[in-house]
Amino acid sequence: MIALIQRVSEARVLVQGAPTGEIGAGLLVLLCAERGDGEAQADKLLSKILRLRIFADDAGKMNRSVQDTGGGLLVVSQFTLAADTSGGNRPSFTEAAAPQAGRRLYDYFVAQARAAHPVVQTGEFAAHMQVQLVNDGPVTIPLTVR
């Protein structure tokens, strides 16, 4: 699985102009399931995201996790993270999980996140979304779990 996480002051997702998810300070998680991914990869990725120390402590060092700060998670499906651009100018997405498998893993990831963390909001799987965010730092970190 692939995630692109952004530390945000605020973020929200709109589908057809209506918000589906919104958080204050926390992490925007753009999430992609790849072929062959399963629940083990989702669990490992979620654990990494929840414990990643990228929020400032009292001394201003990145030493606190989203769990430490009580910040929100906004989880948005994004199959384009699996883009392969090595063959030309048009990306190939053959490494992304098939839609049914991708939805199952996305739903699983969100359910596990909600069981482990108090503030979890989402986009809408397979919808055309507008993501609005204020990147704090900026801090943007790619994560891949195999």
Model confidence at 76, pLDDT cuts 50, 70, 90, reads very high
Distance CA 144, CA 146 (A): 7
Model confidence at 58, pLDDT cuts 50, 70, 90, reads very high
Global pTM reads 0.96
Distance CA 115, CA 34 (A): 23
Fill in the amino acid letter for 61. K
Q: What is the mean pLDDT of residues 46-70?
A: 97
Distance CA 11, CA 60 (A): 22
Summarize pLDDT for 78-133 with one digit per residue, the tens: 999 999 999 989 999 999 999 999 999 999 999 999 999 999 999 999 999 999 99
The reported pLDDT for the residue numbered 2 is 98
Summarize pLDDT for 27-55 with one digit per residue, the tens: 999 999 999 999 999 999 999 999 999 99
The reported pLDDT for the residue numbered 95 is 96
Q: Strand pairing partners for 19?
A: 14
For residue 39, give the 3-state DSSP assignment. helix
The CA radius of gyration of the chain, in Å to the nearest whole number, is 15
Distance CA 104, CA 124 (A): 13
The reported pLDDT for the residue numbered 50 is 98
* Active site (catalytic) residues: 78-80
Which domains occur in the chain, in start order?
A: 2-135 (3.50.80.10)
Q: Strand pairing partners for 31?
A: 3, 77
The reported pLDDT for the residue numbered 134 is 98
The reported pLDDT for the residue numbered 41 is 98
Distance CA 146, CA 143 (A): 10
Structure tokens of 56?
Answer: 């400032």
The reported pLDDT for the residue numbered 77 is 98
Contact of 82 with 95, CB cutoff 8 Å: yes
